[in-house]
A and B are shown apart, each in its own frame.
Chain A
Amino acid sequence: MGDPLFWHRLQFGFTATYHYLFPQLTMGLALVIVILKGLGLKTGEARYSDAARFWIRIFGINFAVGVVTGIPLEFQFGTNWARFSHLTGGIIGQTLGMEGMFAFFMESSFLGLLIWGEKKLSPRGHFGAALALWFGSWLSGYFIIATNAFMQHPTGFAVAADGTLQLTSFWSFLLNPWALGQYAHNMIAAVVTGSFAVAAVGAYWTLKGIHPVQADLNLRTGTILGLIFSVLVAFPTGDLQGKLVAKYQPIALAAMEGRFESGPRAALTLIGQPNVPIRKIENPIKVPAVLSFIAYGTFSSNVQGLLAFPEELWPQNIELLYYSFHIMAGLGTLMIGLMGLAGFLLWRGRLASTRSVLWLLMLAVPFPYIATTAGWAVAEFGRQPWLVYGVLRTSQGSSPLVHSGHTAFTTLGFAGIFVVLSMLWLFLIGRELAHGPDSQAH
């Protein structure tokens, strides 16, 4: 069955990628729901709570799939990455334990109240449940990002005599600068996913000419939030994330850009194909000096290329890293453009009648998912060959006695379960879309 490490990496990458399709919408929608419920409370207009009710139903279905696909990830630390867990458990166990204690208990306690409690609770109480879900899901996100940040740029630890990593400073670990930057970037990306979904549903109903009040409200909400957050995801948070990579993982930055030679006034490669065996980027279209500016804030800065580092420290899959980064950045730019256009038309009062842009908004839903997935691919392939950057190699972290056949078998099992979950999700979400919003006012 080949190299066990390959299967461990494939299994974690596959299950984590699939899982994160759901929480990104959940976390984004949680904020949208809080905003809608808040507007409903403030204005007393039924259309806001009607819209919130529709999105809460979508949220509930999506949340359930997110919960059940998240369970395997917690288990994989021990099952597939036993040596990593043994060595770092004293540190990342803190954030994973806190996630359960502070975030999951809160989310699970208020989820039922949010989904089924509107009649039983006062409007304020129901708003409170929405707030709890928003806070809980975003808190959960922080603990996971802090865990990942320790792997990207470990802080607050010391290596003990037995080789284990021991916590020395809780706050330095929890408030890792990498975690703060990555959290802002990631959560804003989640709101982009949520607002694209809201805009798409509004566009769909507008194109079909049904549910006019809700179509208008969703189109407006999705476009305004989508425009604001598509910009924020690039600047300042994406920019900040780029500077973190430049500072702490210069090798990853070079690989993301397919940059082999070092030098000042580094050019940004817009498109091109990295040819790693001959250490060259082929057919590039470049913008001079922009990479220096993005990485270090001045056009004259020296940006190191891969050849400045020993090859054993290079990420193994430079091509995938390069393309993932360019897909993320390219889609991010397209999304700003689309939302900018939609926002302009909305401002001029012509969005609802411009069918071509409505079509684009409706079909753009996959873009934030693809960009987010590619972004995480950049983070995780860029971290290679390290499991904990500079401290523990990926090859030293897997379970020593688990056969590759077992991991292959369970990976296929997950593939089967995920197919079923995907069909269920599409079916149930499709029903909600077809059913549309309903008003409890009459």
Chain B
Amino acid sequence: MAFLWFWLVSVMFAIYIVMDGFDFGAGILHLLVAKTNAERREVLGAIGPFWDGNEVWLLAGGGSLFLAFPKVLASGFSGFYLAMWLVVWCLMLRGISIEFRSHLQDGLWRHFWDGTFAVASVLLPVLLGAALGNVLRGVPVDGSGYFNMPLWTDFRLGPQPGILDWYTVLIGVFALVTMAAHGAIFLAWKTQGPVHDRAKALAPRLWLLVLVLWVLATATTSLVNPGILSNFPKAPLAWLASLLFLGGLALVFAGLRRDQHLLAFLGSGAFILGLLAATAACVYPVMLKSTLSPAFDLTALNASVGGHGLRTGLVWWLIGFPIAIGYGAFLFRFHRGKVVAAEEGEGY
């Protein structure tokens, strides 16, 4: 049961990254691909109906983690205290930027919110990537099950690292570029005219950068935490996940070459989902690795709640998950086709 919930939680967070990832990506590229007000409203119109629902995956994933592995949530959230609030503040500013930007027909007002939206969209993937980096590298959790980390120390690794060190920043940059590349494909798919052309031109270059950073991130991860890659041959789920992300990568390039951007978008989603799933398969059962001693690791086995809670949660999860997917499918279908910038006084 703990194994199953490890995967449910991992899949929820991976879906979160794929879904919020495309609207993060749109935000990262917002100032680059959209120059005029109409173009910016096109970008916002493309993600406007989705961003809030995408963010719910984070809350639903967090809720799943809470119910199944409360010890991990308690340790991780309190240990990353300051970084957590940076994430929250960025999420708040970003949401407000999207929702309030077009309420006023005023150039400065809109420039301000465009800027806020872009900055928050850049910071969030870096922070979330760094969070993943921390999980892979390990944190100084001790026998009490808790830890407390400074935001950064000297950017070097060691038993008492900072939340940001060279490795976690690298993973953060990898996440940033991947989200941007993912968002570029989304915008190429959903927009037309200059926004489409610019996003389309950026996408292959960003994806080449993703490849470079992916190799770099994999190599450094094997240095920082050798256990992860040595688990790979023993984890059949990691092979499956690898097939998914390699297939996704092939679809990305095939889709981009043939101008089939929906195909490329599905590919980039599969790439992110597969990469995260492969990572989860390789770290299982460890959820929060200790830099002090393997005995202090928080794992899916020693941090899960009792069986009755997990079984109960599974019942409603199995009902809720298809409904959530259904809403998403309905929204994509309702807003199918290319986005048109909304008229003044309406829309995002």
Contact = CB atoms under 8 A, between A and B. Distances in A.
Interface of A: 60-61, 64-65, 67-69, 71-72, 74-75, 77-80, 82-83, 85-94, 96-102, 104-106, 108-109, 111-113, 116, 160, 164, 166-168, 170, 399-403, 406, 410, 413, 417, 421, 424, 428, 431
A77 B78 CA distance: 9
10 contacts: A75-B85, A79-B84, A96-B63, A96-B67, A97-B316, A102-B320, A111-B52, A401-B148, A406-B82, A424-B96
Contact of A71 (B63, B64, B92): B92
B100 A86 contact: no
Contact of A98 (B70, B84, B316, B327): B316
A119 to B, nearest CB: 8
B92 A69 contact: yes
Contact of B312 (A67, A86, A87, A170): A170
A248 B6 CA distance: 38
B82 A98 contact: no
B56 A94 contact: no
B269 to A, nearest CB: 18
B232 to A, nearest CB: 30
B313 interface: yes
Contacts of A428: 100, 103
B306 interface: yes
B125 interface: no
B1 to A, nearest CB: 12
B103 A431 contact: yes
A75 B88 contact: yes
A404 to B, nearest CB: 11
Nearest to A401: B148
B260 interface: no
A116 B49 CA distance: 9
A74 B62 contact: yes
B323 A101 contact: yes
A109 B330 contact: yes
Given A93-B66, A94-B309, A160-B306, A74 B59 contact: yes
Interface residues of B, number: 67
Interface in B56-72: 56, 59-71
Nearest to B99: A64
B313 A108 contact: no
Interface of B: 48-49, 52-53, 55-56, 59-71, 73-82, 84-85, 88-89, 91-92, 95-96, 99-100, 103-104, 144-148, 305-306, 308-309, 312-313, 316-317, 320-321, 323-324, 327-328, 330-331, 334, 342, 346-348
Nearest to A84: B74
Contacts, number: 209
A54 to B, nearest CB: 13
A107 to B, nearest CB: 8
A168 B308 CA distance: 7
B327 A80 contact: no
Nearest to A64: B99
Contacts of B347: 116
Contacts of B346: 116
A201 to B, nearest CB: 19
Nearest to B91: A71
A167 B309 contact: yes
A417 B96 CA distance: 11
Majority-rule SS of A interface residues: helix
A113 B104 CA distance: 21
Contact of B59 (A65, A85, A100, A400): A100
Given A97-B313, A401-B146, 8 more contacts: A71-B91, A78-B66, A80-B78, A82-B75, A89-B74, A94-B309, A167-B305, A170-B312
A105 B323 contact: yes
A413 B85 contact: yes
A68 B84 contact: no
Contacts of B321: 101
A91 B61 CA distance: 16
Contacts of B323: 101-102, 105
Nearest to B65: A93
Contacts of B146: 82, 399-401
Contacts of A69: 92
Contact of A100 (B63, B69, B88, B148): B63
A77 B55 CA distance: 18
A163 to B, nearest CB: 12
Contacts of A402: 78, 81, 148
Given A67-B52, A100-B56, A94 B312 contact: yes
A403 B81 CA distance: 9
* Interface-central residue, B70, B147, B328, B342, by most chain A CB under 10 Å: B70
Contacts of A399: 74, 78, 81, 146
* Interface-central residue, B53, B55, B331, by most chain A CB under 10 Å: B53
B97 to A, nearest CB: 10
